Structure 1
Amino acid sequence: MSGDKAGATESGRADVADARYPIPAEPPEYRTRPRKVSGRKRTPIWDAVAALYVVIALVFVGWLATEMAVHAKPGDSLWVLNLVAFWATSAYLAVPRIHQILTLLYVPDYFIGRTRTGDGVLGDPVNLAVDGTADDIHAGMQAAGWVLADEVTVRSSWGIVVSSLFKRPYPSAPVSNLYLFGRKQAFAYQKEVDGNASRRHHVRFWPTPEGWHLPGGQRVDFLAAGTYDRSVGFSLFTGQITHKVDADTDAERDFIIDTLRYADPKIDVAVIDKFSAAYHSRNGGGDAINTDGDLPVLDVRGASERGPAPQMPRPDKSVARHHIPPLPLLFTGALALWGFIFAGIQVAVDPQVTASKLVMPAVEFALWLLTAARQRWAWVGLMTISSITAFSHLLLLDFSKLADVILTGVSVFVVLAVSATAVREWVRGGNRRVPVSN
Structure 2
Amino acid sequence: MRAAPRRPRGRRAALLAMVDGAFTLLGAVAAGWLALLTVQRIATGGLRDWWLVLVLWVLLAYLLLPRLHGLLTRVYVPDYFIGRTRTYEGLLGDPVNAAVLGTTEDLHTAMTRGGWQLADELGFRSGLRTVTSTLARRTYTTAPVSPLHLFGRSQDLTYQQEVEGSPARRHHVRFWRTPPGWRLPGGARVDWLAAGTYDRRVGLSAFTLQVTHKIDVDTDAERDHLVATVLAGSPEVRVRTIRHFSSGYHARNGGGDAIRTDGHLPVIDLTDVVDEARAVHGAPPPEWHGLAAPARALLAAVRDTGASNRDHRPLTLYLGHVLVLLRLLVTAVVAAGAAAAVVLAPGGAAPAWLPAPEDLVPWPSAPGPPLLVLGGALLAWLACAVLSQLVFAGSSTARLVVLAAAVVDVVVLLTATTTGSGPLASRAWTTALVLDLGVVITLSSGDVRDFTLRRRHPGTPPAGPRARAAPGDQGSGQA
TM-score, normalised by the number of residues in structure 2? 0.72
Q: C-alpha displacement at 1:161, in angstroms?
A: 2.3
Which of 72, 84, 88 is matched with 1:118 structurally? 88
- Counterpart for residue 229 of structure 1: 199
Q: Distance in 1 between matches of 2:120 and 2:13?
A: 38
Q: CA deviation at 1:291?
A: 0.9
Deviation at 1:422, TM superposition (A): 2.9
Q: Aligned to 1:266, what secondary structure does the other structure show?
A: coil
The 5 A counterparts of 1:44-123 are: 47-73=17-43, 76=46, 78-123=48-93
Secondary structure at the counterpart of residue 187 of structure 2: coil
Please state if 1:188 is matched with 2:188.
no
Change (3 A) 1:299 1:276: same
- Residue of structure 2 equivalent to 1:385: 405
Residue in 2 aligned with 1:434?
464
Q: Does 1:416 align with 2:441?
A: yes
Q: 2:42–2:49: 8 Å Cα contact kept in structure 1?
A: yes
User: What SS does structure 2 have at the residue aligned with 1:204?
Assistant: strand
- Which one is further off, 45-54 or 386-395? 45-54
Residue equivalent to 1:31: none
Kept after mapping to 2: 8 A contact 1:136/1:300: yes
Q: Is the 8 A contact 2:86 2:465 kept in 1?
A: no
Q: What is aligned with 1:143?
A: 113
Structure 2 residue matching 1:315: 3-state secondary structure? helix
Which one has the bigger helix percentage?
Answer: 2
**Unmatched 5+ stretches in structure 1:** 1-38
Conserved in 1, the CA contact under 8 Å of 2:158 and 2:173? yes
Deviations 1:117-151 (A, max 9, x none): 12111100000000111111111111111112111
- 406-415 vs 196-205, greater mean Cα deviation: 406-415
Distance 1:212 1:315, change over 3 A: same
Find the residue that maps to 1:202 and give its secondary structure.
strand
- SS of structure 2 residue aligned to 1:269: strand
> For each residue in 1:320-378, what CA deviation from the matched residue of structure 2 results, as whole angstroms up to 9, or x when unmatched?
966868446644665688799999999x99999779938745775687688776555x6
Name the counterpart of 2:429: 404
Q: Write the distance in 1 (CA, Å) between the matches of 2:430 and 2:80.
A: 43
**Of 121, 136, 140, which residue of structure 2 is paired with 1:166?**
136
Once residues 389 and 212 of structure 2 are traced to their aligned partners in structure 1, the CA distance between those partners, rounded to angstroms, is 36
- Within 5 Å, give how 1:25-424 maps onto structure 2: 40-41=10-11, 47-73=17-43, 76=46, 78-305=48-275, 306=277, 308=288, 309-310=291-292, 311-312=294-295, 315=301, 326-327=317-318, 330-331=321-322, 334=325, 357=376, 360-361=380-381, 364=384, 374=395, 380-396=400-416, 397=419, 400-401=423-424, 402-424=427-449
Q: Aligned pair count? A: 399
Matching residue's letter, 1:406:
T
CA distance in 1, matches of 2:262, 2:141: 30
Alignment CA distance shift 1:228-1:362 (3 Å): closer
Q: Distance in 2 between matches of 1:179 and 1:200?
A: 20
- RMSD, aligned α-carbons: 3.8
Is the 8 Å Cα contact of residues 122 and 309 (structure 2) preserved in structure 1?
A: no
Paired amino acid for 2:195: A
Distance 2:330 2:178 in 1: 46
Q: CA deviation at 1:44?
A: 6.6
Displacement after TM superposition at 1:413 (Å): 1.7
Q: What letter matches 2:238 in structure 1? A: D
Corresponding letter in the other structure for 1:64: L
Whether contact under 8 Å (1:328, 1:420) holds in the other structure is no
TM-score (norm 1): 0.78
| Higher RCO (C-alpha 8 Å, min separation 6) | 2
In structure 2, the CA distance between the partners of 1:359 and 1:139, relative to structure 1 (3 Å rule), is: closer
Task: Give the distance between the partners of 1:182 and 1:174, measured in 2 at CA.
Answer: 20
Give the drift of 1:246: 0.8
The structural deviation recorded for 1:158 is 2.4
- Judge which range, 133-142 or 382-391, deviates more: 382-391
The residue type equivalent to 1:162 in the other structure is T
